[in-house]
Amino acid sequence: METRQLGNSDLYITPIIMGTWQAGKRMWVGIEDTDSIKAIREAFEVGITTIDTAEVYGEGHSERIVSQALKEVRDKVIYATKVFANHMKYDQVITACHNSLSNLQTDYIDLYQIHWPSGSWKSEIVPIEETMKALNQLKQEGKIRAIGVSNFSCQQLAEASVYGQIDSIQPPYSLFWRGVEKEIQPYCVEHNISILAYSSLAQGILTGKFGNNPNFPEGDHRKDHRLFQSPHWERVQLALTKLTPIAQEYKCTLGQLAIAWLIKQPKSNAIVGARNLQQVKENAEAIKIRLTEEDLIKISSIGNEVTKHLDDNPVMWNFDS
């Protein structure tokens, strides 16, 4: 698979990135470690060599699963992990990084990201200057190779950049969730910052697999996703109906079409999770799809019928509902 430079760093990532939130098990249902390990290993085998995880995914469980899957090929993969919003003080960042290094069984992390801005999820507010001081120190020591942020506004991204080189931002971004296009994407284009889009399939919605009436077991966080809730869900269904003939024309699935569209957007790369081998193989095939400019515009227009009704709240879930 082709690779792209990560921001201004010396790292090169694959446009399709293996997401491993589900491997942490927490907030997911029906996840088995053996399946997660096989899926992550399959991602490597089909050319997806960039793996995204986080300390908060199952309290380190996802990181440990990534290690089990890839420790034998560590020098051939890019590890991207994250420090959570409750670990933003200098000493906390250092400790969290060392814990992630231990979980991943490695002596360096390729891309270390601030998962959520300080103050998110009722966390203590810590000046970004302090957090960045710790990240710069870790980078100087060779513990991390590049610094990224996640779930930051454009203003927060610009502020973090004052205190060090930011090579990537990880926002929610998909054909059906496009707030990033307003300010963040133009800023990233101007400053050569890579976008690592999470929920690039809108947590599976863009695969069309849920039918008209999605039902989730107790403990599955997707039931709280705003796109699954009325009136957005009705707009989603109409848009999927319009996208289906385009996918048929390209002889691909709806999910592959959505990934192909996303990685053609400016500075954008798609983080895609998978529960099993087959999903990984299908996701990887999206790299082969060559959408015409006309179809890119058409697909964007269809997606806009969903996204234009969303507000600017970047959080995709109504967890309190």
Q: Which two tokens stand for residue 10?
A: 């010396």
CB contact set of 249 (below 8 Å; sequence gap of 6+): none
Q: Which two tokens stand for residue 238?
A: 């109409």
Report how far residue 269's alpha carbon sits from residue 13's, in angstroms, rounded to the nearest whole number: 9
- Reduced to 3 states, what is the DSSP secondary structure of residue 49? coil
8 Å CB contact between 85 and 116? yes
Candidates 66, 64, 59, 16; CA nearest to 41 is 66
Task: Say whether 112 is catalytic.
Answer: no
H or E stretch covering 78 = strand 78-83
Give the burial class of 168: count Cβ atoms within 10 A of its Cβ; 0-12 exposed, 13-18 middle, 19 or more buried: buried
CA distances from residue 146 to 63, 93, 300 in whole angstroms, order as listed:
18, 15, 32
CA distances from residue 100 to 80, 170, 298 in whole angstroms, order as listed:
10, 18, 42
User: Please, what's the b/e burial string for 34-70 (b: 16 or more CB within 10 A of its CB; e: otherwise)?
Assistant: ebbbbbbbbbbebebbbbbbbbbbbebbbbbbbbbbb
Residue tagged active-site, from 57, 79, 112, 173: 57
Candidates 49, 127, 52, 46; CA nearest to 93 is 127
Residues serving a catalytic function are: 57
